[in-house]
Structures are given as structure tokens and as C-alpha cells.
Structure 1
Amino acid sequence: MSGAHKDVVIVTGIDLAPAAVDILRDYQLVYTSAKPTEDDLIKLAQQHQPVAIIVRYGGVSARVMDASPALRVISKHGTGIDTIDSQAAQQRGIAVKAAVGANAPAVAEHTWALIMACAKNVVGLDRRMREGHWDKSTHKSLELQGRTLGLVGFGAIGRRVAAVAAALGMPVLAYDPYAKEAAPGVQLVDLDTLYARSDVVSLHCPLTAENKHMINAQSLARMKDGTILVNTARGGLIDEAALIAALNSGKLRAAGLDSFEKEPFAAPHPLQDVGNAILSPHIGGVTADAYIAMGTGAARNILAVLNEQAIAG
């Protein structure tokens, strides 16, 4: 970019992977605080008139968009764009992009960490051992071979989770209205069939207005007794009160949760007292490799949109 002036890209966070910074070397990067509010972003957008925003933390509302008429693209540092008002962006001619697949290996691995921990009661046994107990004669883990895995969402993450299931000898069902074809060994089914036949249900879909609380008292009732439920997607997919009731009653054997309705997870929280829930702070996609992949993916998406618009212009 010629001249001293550089167009601005705002990053909603305190840093970006060096490889991503290098991709955007022709732009001035302006970082927010670690937890920027809407007012913080509006102030920065008014001051710097960014052509792009990389969304790491927080969200981008219509008010933020209106604070910078120069804004052309909002690029998610990751895959979930539910924190961006996509409808408002579309109305204003602003592109919304996600770094699709960038964190798929990390999230798929964390999904399996939670499934295994639930099936083998890793956390509970560790706690009991530290308290001085030896539960060899009374404990029975769940063997996953031959058990059916149900995947709600069959994108980049779901496909990686399915590949591991195949190696473990688990039949796989998947529900995804956008999937054109299943992978070998995976059967595409409707949601009711998936709930009724799965021993493990794992969520890998975006959060939308239509699927909010898709896991609720009614869907939980359709599941097998003793099902394991895992969520490494978005917290709003699950009605947490209904989930807690199902865990306490034994309807669910266990749940592995990496996302919650309100984040950060604020203590005291009812799930803290549920012994058969395993909790992690939305870190499924947080690895050193995913950090680089999400950053570079977000940066490339910005260049692709801006370059395309420059050519079209």
C-alpha cells in the first residue's frame, strides 16, 4: 500500500499470531482490551475508521458497524459467527467471514477428551483417589466399542470426530441439513432418529435463532437412558436447567461441556454442584496451532474480500 497512511484493521483482543500480522503488514492493526465492550469498539471504530475488524473476543453489533462507514469486512478469529450481527452486516454491504476449519483438529480432540472422560469417569475417579478411596471393586466404565455416536452437525469438526469413532469401532449417525453426503461409515439421519439411537450425542453446529435450546426437556426425553452428551459448540444450544435435571435423575450418564449459555461462566453456577458434568472454559479450540491457523485464516479472509472489492471497484 503506497504512502504513509495505512487502512486500519481492529482486532478485538490484545494480540494476533505473528504470521497473521505479517499477512496484514500493509494495514495498521489496532488492538482492543482483552474483553472489549460494545462502547469500547464504537469509540475505536469512530476514531480509526477501520476497513476491517477481526473478532477474537466480544461481538460486533449494528452500532459498531455504523461507527465506521469505511468498514468492509468482519472476520471471525475462529468458526462461530453468532457474536456478529450478520443481518445488520448484510444490510450495510459488509462481508462476514469465518476461518472455517482452522480450529477443527483442536476442537475434535477436545471433544474426544470429554467423551472419554465421561465414559471412563476420569475426573470422578481422580477425585476419589485423592480422597483415599480405591474403587476397583465397584466401578464400571462404559466401553465405547459398538456404542453409537450421534453427531449434530457434520462439518469440518464433526467429520474429524467421526473418523476417530470409526477407529474405535463405533457406528456413527449424523444430522446436518446442509451435508450433501456422508463420509464412509456415517449414516445421515433426522434428529429424532439420532436422539433415539445414539449412546453418545455430540454437538457440532452453529447457534442460530432456530436451534437455540435444541437440547431441552423434550429432546432429552427422547434419548436413551444413560446417554452421554458433549457440547464443544455453543452454550445456547442447551437448556441448562433441563440438562441439570437429566444429569441429576440419571437420564444422562454424564455431560462434557466446553461452552455455556453465559460466558464467562459466573460462579456460583448450578452446574458446579453436578458431579456427572465435566466442565471446561470454552477452550476446545485453544491450542498454539489453532491460534496460528485461526489468525492466518481471519487475515486471509480480510485480504480476499478487500482485494476482490478493489478489483470490482
Structure 2
Amino acid sequence: MSTRTLIVTGADLAPQALAVLKDFEIVYAGKTPQEDDLVALCRQHDPVAIIVRYGKVGAAVMDAAPSLRVISKHGSGTDTIDKDAARARGIEVRAAVGANAAAVAEQALALLLACAKSVVQLDARMHAGHWDKATHKSLELHGRTIGLVGLGAIGQRFARMCDAMAMKVIGFDPYAQNLPDYIRPVDLATLWRESDAISLHCPLTPENRNLVNAQTLAACKRGVVLVNTARGGLVDEAALLEAVRCGQVASAGLDSFAVEPMAAPHPFHGEPNLILSPHIGGVTGDAYVNMGVGAAKNVLAVLAEAPTVA
């Protein structure tokens, strides 16, 4: 059998992942692959598998690769893959679930603490020569209620961190089972109403796009803190900006955005109560290895099940 080809929609994979894929010819699409680039590569190489790091994989890409059997996400979010198109073509879609859970949960905690403790603003004031001890008061998280939307591997890890800080943890996830005792499951209406801070940990679907919008933000406590390390499409950015400016949302820590990379200038730029990071929650050395190995193992698992063509 000739060497099978695998396309990576990125410029690299961890050496540990490459070791798992030692029997494949690996073709890299680069850091910012567009659909036309991927279509051309698929026509040239007819891969049996695609590992998705950056860019989107839709029907046109799939149709350009008749031997394609599996699309494996380098991470947990599969919203950049057209799953309906894949299903119609008998192509498996897999995610490296939990591979970056620790990294993303830590980023969520960092953003929550930065918002509650005004870390960025106080740092800027100190560097400018100010000493605001007599006038500044931070938010104490002890005893406050954190509402989590999504209770998968990342959401539950973050919940454990919040519980360790003696926060009250409530959460919404219709698919979660066997939750630990410190997470109280609630419906979304209760979550908006009771939370002092809200953190998003769910995948983006057509049903929950703009889940956080003018109506849901108005239903929250005044001065709520919002953290999003999931997907930018979960938040109506214009509504959030208005809520921050009027004080309904005290501050927000955002690691994902509706359009990425964020174009400059952006309405969020210069807003003192918005703390921004460039979707790097899952970007750590350990997560890079874990996601790569997880994605590679998912490829092997699917191809081991798929019938071979003589």
C-alpha cells in the first residue's frame, strides 16, 4: 500500500504527534489557510485525513478529497468543520476532547481574577505613577455565585477551581451527567438571574449563537462579570459593549471573538473594562502536545475502523 497522506491546516504538529503519524505523509497548509488553498492541496494529495488547526473545512474541501475518511480537530471545538457535510459524505469528525481542558480553565480563571481585581487597570495606573490604595475597591469572589454555561471537561475543571475559592457554582448544560456536588444545575433563566459572574464553556451551535445578547444581559445582576474562553459567536459583541459602557456588565474577560483575527480598529479597543487575549486559552506547551497527540490518535482510531480500498 502506498503511503497515505494527511493534511494539517497549520504549519506544524508536536513531535509526539508526528511520532504517532509516522506512517503518513504529512502536508502542512500553513498558518492561515483559506478554502481555496485547502481545496488545491486536497486535489493534489487526496488525503485520507485532515487535522484541523486553523481555517474552516467545508463541503468544497471534502469534495476535493475523495479518499477522505476523517477530519480530526486539534482541540475540542468543531464549529469550524461542516459536520452536516461530513456526515453526508460518510466522513468522521472527531475532537481531542479534554486535551486542552487544563489550559483553557486556567485562562478562564486568569481572566476572572483580572476582572475582579482590576489587574490591568491598576498595573497601568501604577506604571503612570499613581497609588490608588485609598480609592480603589476590588471585587471579592469568596461567597459570590459563578454561573457556568457548559459543563464539559473545561467547564468542570474551572468549576473545581471556583469551588476551591469558596464560590457558589451553578451551571447549565443539558448533556452533563454525574456532576459533582458543588455544582448546582440550573436553567438559563436562573443562571442569568443569580450569577455574580458568568463564564462560557460550551461549543458554538446554530441554536446558541449570540446566546449572550441585550436581553440576556439585561436579565443579569447589575455589575455582572463575563468571561468567554469558548467561541466568540456566543456573544453579541455590540450588545456586550453597550452593557459594559452603561455599567450593567462591570467588566468582561474575552479570549475569543466573532471574527478572528480581530481586525484593527475594533470597537473593543481602548475599552478599560474589557480584558482581551488573542484566543490563546488553549495555547500552552503542554496543551500543544496533548491536542496534537489526541488528534493523531483519533485519526488512527477512525482509519482502523474504516474499510480499506484495494
- With structure 1 as the length reference, what TM-score do the two structures score? 0.97
Residue 182, structure 1, aligned to residue 169, structure 2: no
| 1:277 maps to 2:274 | yes
C-alpha displacement at 1:310, in angstroms?
3.8
The AA in structure 2 aligned to 1:95 is E
Out of 176, 195, 200, the position equivalent to 2:197 is: 200
What one-letter code is carried by the residue in structure 1 that aligns with 2:123?
D
Indicate the SS of the match to 2:171: strand
Question: Among residues 201, 211, 214, which one is paired with 1:217 in the alignment?
Answer: 214
Quote the residue 1:85 is aligned against. 82
Q: Does 1:135 align with 2:137?
A: no
The aligned residue for residue 262 of structure 1 is: 259
| CA deviation vs aligned residue, 1:214-273 (integer Å, no higher than 9, x gap) | 100000001001110000000000000000000000111100000000000111001012
1:59: Cα distance to partner?
1.0
1:104 corresponds, among 101, 106, 126, to: 101
Counterpart in 2 of 1:11? 8
The one-letter amino acid paired with 2:143 is: G
Residue in 2 aligned with 1:171?
A: 168
2:235 aligned to 235, 238, 243, which one?
238
Q: What secondary structure does 1:100 align onto? A: coil
The answer to whether residue 151 in structure 2 is matched with residue 154 in structure 1 is yes
How far the C-alpha of 1:311 sits from its partner, in A, is 8.1
User: Which contiguous aligned blocks of 4+ residues in structure 1 show a shift greater than 3 angstroms?
Assistant: 310-313
Q: CA deviation at 1:312?
A: 12
Assess, with a 3 A threshold, how the Cα gap between structure 1 residues 312 and 108 changes in structure 2: closer, same or farther: farther
Return the letter of the residue paired with 2:23. Answer: D
SS of match in other structure, 1:281: coil
Show CA shifts across 1:38-78 (max 9, x none).
Answer: 00000000000000000001010100000011000000000
In 1, Cα distance between equivalents of 2:193 and 2:119 = 26
**Runs of 5+ consecutive residues of structure 1 not aligned to the other structure:** none
Q: Which residue of 1 aligns with 2:45?
A: 48
User: Counterpart of 2:87 in structure 1: which amino acid?
Assistant: Q
1:80-101 CA-to-partner distances (Å, cap 9, x unmatched) read 0000000000000000000000
Distance 1:117 1:312 in 2: 55
User: What is the alpha-carbon root mean square deviation over aligned residues?
Assistant: 1.2
Q: CA shift at 1:33, angstroms?
A: 1.6
Tell whether 2:100 aligns with 1:70: no
State how far apart, in whole Å, the 2-side matches of 1:61 and 1:118 are. Answer: 37
Structure 2 alignment gaps of length 5 or more: none
Identity %: 61
Task: Give the Cα–Cα distance (whole angstroms) in 2 for the partners of residues 39 and 243 of structure 1.
Answer: 34
Q: What TM-score do you get using the length of structure 2 for normalisation?
A: 0.98
